[in-house]
Amino acid sequence: MSGVPEPRANPHLIGHAEPESHLVEALRSGRMHHAWLITGPEGIGKATLAFRFARRLLAGLPHDGTLHLDSDHPTFRRVMAGSHADLLTVERAWDEKRKRLRSEIVVDDVRAVAEFLRRTPAEGGWRVVVVDGAENLNRNAANALLKVLEEPPSRAVLLLVCAAAGRLLPTIRSRTRRLRMSPLDVAGMANFLARAMPERAVAERERIAVLAEGSPGRAIAFAAGGGSNVAALVRDVLDKLPDPPPILAHTVADALGRDEEAFSTFFDMLRASLAAAVRDAARGEMNDAQARMLGTRGLDAWIDVWHGLGTLRQQTEGLHLDKRQALINGFGMLAAKA
């Protein structure tokens, strides 16, 4: 698979013309809100848009109605390298002791924001803070960020990238301008996958697009996480619904091993298939396989299962819990009687 740049280094934003136009208009009007909350499902381009906006703020007003900046522009290169003096990025930090990312953004990370914003802009323009994964702020960090939002300095913009806005403090949400981003449509996903995975057959890209549900990040994760092998495991599980045998959980656990990406991909694919079946059932359009899969359990109950699997994955990864036990618990949700 061709490499896809990380958000700070990605010059391309596929789709999302409407949210981008709101940011362009804010720039051109001179009525810039001091804090933006960029929300939407995981992997749809929120951080890519945030860094795209940050680059344009630091480089000057756009001339073509977009936030595009050529990748050979000095500002682009410095943002990509993390060396621009007027840009600060806050995200989950590396835990040197445990040799892994922390599960939370902690208060010391946010204190750096206040210190950064007290400085005079190095280049006389804007100062920009990108909080990537704002839903990971712990309570103390969230309160520290709230203090910054309550007394925003001039010529400063905070961009909060968040996949779960409901986990933020209501007072943080109320002090930001919300910019909602939606999953890509069919054409947008086809465009993205053709660019990101030109070596894959069209039919395979189409299968990935269906499973990814409009999320380029999820599509990349599926491909990187042994998507074809994991998809076969998911099909085996779905074929055994609505009453999967308990031994199947151990079979899946053995197949996934300790592969972090495969574990995430399995849960994502399983939830995507359940979501598609529930949607089709609600529309009266489900096929025979979906009808057999859902059985007699009500759609509300399946929605609860979908949410439960998402929470289980999030807690397992965020708290570094045992993945085999998580799979067993997940199969328990799938097998629960109505």
Q: Is residue 202 part of a domain?
A: no
DSSP state of 120: P
Residues 175 and 241 in one domain: no
Residues 142 and 264 in one domain: no
Residues 171 and 230 in one domain: no
What pLDDT band is residue 337 in, cutting at 50, 70 and 90? Answer: low
Alpha helices in the chain (DSSP H): 17-29, 46-59, 74-81, 107-118, 139-150, 170-174, 186-196, 202-212, 216-224, 227-240, 247-256, 260-282, 288-294, 299-318, 323-335
What pLDDT band is residue 338 in, cutting at 50, 70 and 90? Answer: very low
d(CA 193, CA 178): 28
What pLDDT band is residue 143 in, cutting at 50, 70 and 90? Answer: very high
Q: Is residue 173 part of a domain?
A: yes
pLDDT of residue 228: 65
Could you tell me how far CA 65 lies from the centroid of its own chain?
A: 26
Tell me: the pLDDT tens digits for 266-303?
Answer: 898 898 889 889 999 999 998 998 999 998 889 999 99
pLDDT of residue 3: 57
Mean of the per-residue pLDDT values for the chain? Answer: 89
Residues 176 and 233 in one domain: no
Instruction: Tell which of 127, 153, 180 closes a domain.
Output: 180
Tell me which residue range forms the domain holding 280. 225-335
What pLDDT band is residue 19 in, cutting at 50, 70 and 90? Answer: very high
Provide the number of structural domains found in the chain: 2
Q: Is residue 186 part of a domain?
A: no
Q: Is residue 209 part of a domain?
A: no
pLDDT of residue 263: 87
Q: Is residue 298 part of a domain?
A: yes
Token representation of residue 199: 């070596």
Whether the pLDDT of residue 75 is over 90: the answer is yes
Q: Is residue 194 part of a domain?
A: no
Closest to 217 (Cα-Cα) out of 75, 55, 336, 43: 43
DSSP state of 157: E
Q: Percentage of the chain with pLDDT > 90? A: 50
Q: Give me the phi and psi of 299, to 5 degrees please.
A: -65, -35
Q: Is residue 89 part of a domain?
A: yes
Is residue 190 within 8 A of residue 205, CB to CB? The reply is yes
Instruction: Tell which of 161, 180, 199 closes a domain.
Output: 180
Instruction: Tell which of 180, 211, 244 closes a domain.
Output: 180
Q: Is residue 313 part of a domain?
A: yes
Residues 176 and 248 in one domain: no
Tell me: the pLDDT tens digits for 153-190?
Answer: 889 999 999 998 988 999 999 999 999 999 999 899 99
Task: Look up the CATH number of the domain holding residue 91.
Answer: 3.40.50.300
pLDDT of residue 60: 83
Residues 314 and 170 in one domain: no
d(CA 183, CA 207): 16
Residues 235 and 156 in one domain: no
Residues 146 and 233 in one domain: no
pLDDT of residue 1: 43
Tell me: the pLDDT tens digits for 218-274?
Answer: 888 777 756 667 878 888 999 998 888 889 989 998 988 777 778 888 898 898 889
Task: Give the residue with greater pLDDT, 238 vs 130.
Answer: 130
Residues 149 and 85 in one domain: yes
Residues 287 and 149 in one domain: no
Residues 174 and 265 in one domain: no
Residue 130 CB partners (closer than 8 Å, separation 6+)? 47, 50, 51, 54, 87, 88, 89, 90, 159, 161
